[in-house]
Amino acid sequence: MKNFLVHNESTKKDMCSDIGINTVEDLFKQIPQSVRMKELNLPNALSELETQKRVKGLANMNVADYANFMGGGIYNKFVPACISQVASRFEFNTAYTPYQPEISQGTLQVMYEFQTMICRLTGMDIANATVYDAGTACAEAILMACRISKKYKVCVLNSLNPEYKEIIKTYTYSQSIVVDWVDDIPDGTAEYACVLVQTPDYYGEILDIKPVNCLLVVCCDISTLSLLTPPAEYGADIVVGDIQTLGIPMNFGGPTAGFMACKEKFMRQLPGRLAGRTTDKDGKQAFCLTIQTREQHIKREKATSNICSNQALVGLCATLYLSVMGEQGFKQASYLSTKNAHNLSEKLAAKGIKTLNKNFFNEFTIEVEDADKFLSKLKENKILGGIKLNNKNILVTTTEMNSTEEIDNYIACI
């Protein structure tokens, strides 16, 4: 904002005259007074010194030393210190689309490497360079399946993350797509454009996905693919998810970014941006945007997605994370997350608390007598014990960040 200059009264008057109004207030006269804010009621202005003291005082109200056993889509994962150092370099200050490849080779190469890593993890042929988040990726995958199949009815399992479900409802309503919400994949699926499943699902269960007679969309936590079977091996046509677990701090719930990967034959229906590798006129390796299906490049009615986030900086962090951790480090972090979850589940069982899952990775659902009382007691001991699902069920999550001591304290406090 250092180059921003506020308009003076003379400039404002000239601008109003040019568009045929008398005052700025005339721009809003069609909005009824009954729904308009009377005044902002802002406090008195503070000096820079006073503002710093005020912000520090607010920051000191934060409590950051709680043991965290919450998940449900946002996870407390280890983030190597070098990621923020590299990602904060001035070369990456902007996440705008690199339309000019001759000056954007670094950004384009990061996008290409990110896509390659996603393909290796999912087993799919092609991946895009991110969308907004996993919920948006799920909705975009449904729209993509409808364009491919020319069918406008889809099947979605109820065990999908509730936030993703709300996004799907918004997208499909505007496109007049019928959504059947089911508990299990039905036997007959030929009438659908796709079946969308999440595994591990929102409740932590690793699903045994049977074959379908339509496109199969799989939503997954990308970190689980370091140990679990890649979706391509059990018939997925489109794979989506979030990359928050790849070196992205929780940050009060954002920003995150979603990924989408698919079979090669569907790539022209894949929303978002795709970076490709080629050679320049001198025969040297070069990177560029390819398969331009955004409305900036082709007719709007033929665009696969008119609203598609760049999220390049988040994708950069994910690429750095996978590069720094390496294959063995990535697997080790997932192994520790899973080990901690099963350790906690076994110790809860010894205390008479039942785990409802048959197969789980690092999240599981437990059954207690009173969820509010259970979680409140843990919170009194500086433990965030999980996400309340209902009066008796709680979603509990562990990552590599949960120590044996934290798990023992969890058990001791219930």
pLDDT, residue 102, reads 73
Residue 21 carries which side chain, given as an amino acid letter? I
- Give the least confident one: 61-75, 100-114, 122-136, 141-155: 100-114
Query: pLDDT at residue 305 above 80?
Result: no
- Give the least confident one: 169-173, 204-208, 269-273, 308-312: 308-312
pLDDT, residue 293, reads 66
Tens-digit pLDDT profile for residues 242-294: 999 999 999 876 789 999 999 999 998 998 888 999 999 999 999 988 887 66
Query: Residue 99 — pLDDT band, cuts 50, 70, 90?
Result: low
pLDDT, residue 221, reads 95
Interval 146-172 mean pLDDT: 97
The mean predicted confidence, pLDDT, of the chain is 92
Residue among 186, 191, 180 nearest 149 (CA): 191
Tens-digit pLDDT profile for residues 197-210: 999 999 999 999 99
Residue 194 carries which side chain, given as an amino acid letter? C
* CA–CA gap between residue 413 and residue 249 (Å, rounded): 28
Interval 56-60 mean pLDDT: 93
pLDDT, residue 1, reads 47
CB 264 within 8 A of CB 127: no
* Architecture in CATH for domain 81-319: 3-Layer(aba) Sandwich (3.40)
Query: Residue 96 — pLDDT band, cuts 50, 70, 90?
Result: low
* Residue showing tokens 């006073």: 50
240 phi and psi, to 5 degrees? -135, 170
CB 239 within 8 A of CB 218: yes
pLDDT, residue 130, reads 87
Helix extents (H) in 289-311: none
* CA–CA gap between residue 157 and residue 377 (Å, rounded): 33
Number of Cβ within 10 Å of residue 248's Cβ equals 24
Q: Give the 3-state secondary structure of residue 201.
A: coil
pLDDT, residue 90, reads 78
67-77+326-412 domain in CATH 2.70.98.10? no
* CA–CA gap between residue 314 and residue 32 (Å, rounded): 41
pLDDT, residue 2, reads 55
Tens-digit pLDDT profile for residues 331-378: 999 999 999 999 999 999 999 999 999 999 999 999 999 999 999 999
Q: What is the pTM of this model?
A: 0.86
Tens-digit pLDDT profile for residues 3-30: 667 788 999 999 999 999 999 889 998 9
Pairing of strands 178-182, 194-198: unpaired
Residue 312 carries which side chain, given as an amino acid letter? A
Interval 31-50 mean pLDDT: 88
Angle between helices 105-122 and 312-350 (to 10 degrees): 30
Q: Considering Cα of 160, then 166, then 167, then 172, what sign does the dihedral take?
A: positive
Query: Residue 95 — pLDDT band, cuts 50, 70, 90?
Result: low
* CATH 3.90.1150.10 domain position(s) in the chain: 67-77+326-412
Residue among 394, 361, 362, 389 nearest 377 (CA): 394
* CATH 3.40.640.10 domain position(s) in the chain: 81-319
* CA–CA gap between residue 356 and residue 343 (Å, rounded): 15
* Residue showing tokens 């799919």: 124
pLDDT, residue 385, reads 97
* 204 or 296, higher pLDDT: 204
Tens-digit pLDDT profile for residues 381-405: 999 999 999 999 999 999 999 999 9
